[in-house]
Amino acid sequence: MILVFVLVLVTILAILGTAHWYVWRRLIRDTTAARSRWRRAGTVLFIAGPLLAVGALVGVQAGLPHTLAGVVAWPGYLWLAVFLYLFLGVVAGEVVRPLLSRLLARRSAPVPATVGADSPVPPVPEPAAGPEIAAGPEVPAGPGAISRRVFVSRVAGGAAAAVALGTVGAGTYGVLNGPGIKRITVPLAKLPRSAHGLRIAVVSDVHLGPVLGSRFCRRVVDTINSTQPDLIAVVGDLIDGEVDDLADSVEPMRGLRSRLGTFFVTGNHEYISGVEPWVAKVQELGMRPLRNARVELSGFDLAGVDDVAGSSEGLGPDFEATLRDRDPSRAVVLLSHQPVTIHDAARNGVDLQLSGHTHGGQMWPGNYIAELANPTNAGLEQYGDTQLYVSRGAGAWGPPVRVGAPSDITVVELASRQA
């Protein structure tokens, strides 16, 4: 088992190392003069960036103090995001480079003089004696001029860098500016007329930790409260870190307000960070954990299961314990962090499952990977008689960046078919 882990780790590091060398070669080596300060600075960046990224990924687990972990996490995670789009931009540039080179070659080619039928052809002068001088478009025209190859490399590399920085900058602003509000209406066949129009604010994947702290948490809380929900559902991955480090970061959650209260289910990151202390903490903050449990509300049952990550600890989702002895004529809404439990939910007669976990892929093209790993990446879908809604989440894991998957807090309005 250890050997397999080591082999996987070595393979991943080899792939990342090769990718960094490739991007460095295109962006730094091909665009700068040897031993210039620009090449030295670019090389230092391509060494420091991945080292900071490793520090960001393993800092907390390696025992770095929370404050220091935050100092490392910001540049490290942002480097990961920037490098992703630098790599994609450089790969796309491989198509543009030869086209641009051919265009420049055509524009720089000499135009032959038109010679009439009766005009004498001017003699071609013999080259002066002396050392052979290489000719051609790759040779600089004079002091300070650059070859066509370097010019093309700078244009392609500059475009890739501009797109990468612009994309990550916009994606970071989108996260730090806080989640938007999404509203959907979900009809439930068993919902009585008395519960028609009940609004559930669904918030998932806030990921408070070394990067997103109390200020971001306050913004999330204010956004939730502005919707004036009847009920708040926190469907996992609230944090990334231990209770002692993040007590101040989660404190604003105490200010959540709704008519029927706030309910909480665990996500995989609660298990990574210490599930029992966090369950106790959210209770102290005024949330009600639903750990394979169910509560009867006016008009429907609200149930919640532990995250599948708990299965390795003998916990995890237990649908039998959660739904036993319930009145099957009542609608049941299930809170479950990961969408993969939808098939168990459908088999057990759940009417609506509310989930998160996927982040909608967070950064394109991550959405394609998320779609392969989950039955639903984001939005509302039907599975037999059971509906599944997956939120993209309010925060971000790793890089505080979202591209093509904006963060959201979703207000789910339940509708009775009898209304």
User: What's residue 114's pLDDT?
Assistant: 53
Secondary structure, 3-state, the chain: CHHHHHHHHHHHHHHHHHHHHHHHHHHHHCCCCCCCHHHHHHHHHHHHHHHHHHHHHHCCCCCCCHHHHHHHHHHHHHHHHHHHHHHHHHHHHHHHHHHHHHHHHHHHCCCCCCCCCCCCCCCCCCCCCCCCCCCCCCCCCCCCCCCHHHHHHHHHHHHHHHHHHHHHHHHHHHHHCCCEEEEEEEEECCCCHHHCCCEEEEECCCCECCCCCHHHHHHHHHHHHHCCCCEEEECCCCECCCHHHHHHHHHHHHHCCCCCCEEECCCHHHHHHCHHHHHHHHHHCCEEECCCEEEEECCEEEEECCCHHHHHHCCCCCHHHHHCCCCCCCEEEEECCCHHHHHHHHHCCCCEEEECCCHHHCECCHHHHHHHHCCCCCEEEEECCEEEEECCCCCCCCCCCCECCCCEEEEEEEEECCC
User: What's residue 137's pLDDT?
Assistant: 46
* 305 in Cβ contact with 317 (< 8 Å): yes
User: What's residue 131's pLDDT?
Assistant: 41
- pLDDT 10s per residue in the chain (419 long)? 678 878 887 898 899 999 999 999 999 999 999 999 999 999 999 999 999 999 998 876 666 788 888 899 999 999 999 999 999 999 999 998 998 888 888 887 665 655 454 545 455 454 444 443 333 445 455 555 678 899 999 999 999 999 999 999 999 999 999 999 999 999 999 999 999 999 999 999 999 999 999 999 999 999 999 999 999 999 999 999 999 999 999 999 999 999 999 999 999 999 999 999 999 999 999 999 999 999 999 999 999 999 999 998 888 999 999 999 999 999 999 999 999 999 999 999 999 999 999 999 999 999 999 999 999 999 999 999 999 999 999 999 999 999 999 999 999 999 998 87
User: What's residue 145's pLDDT?
Assistant: 65
pTM: 0.88
User: What's residue 134's pLDDT?
Assistant: 37
Which position has the token pair 């007669």? Answer: 349
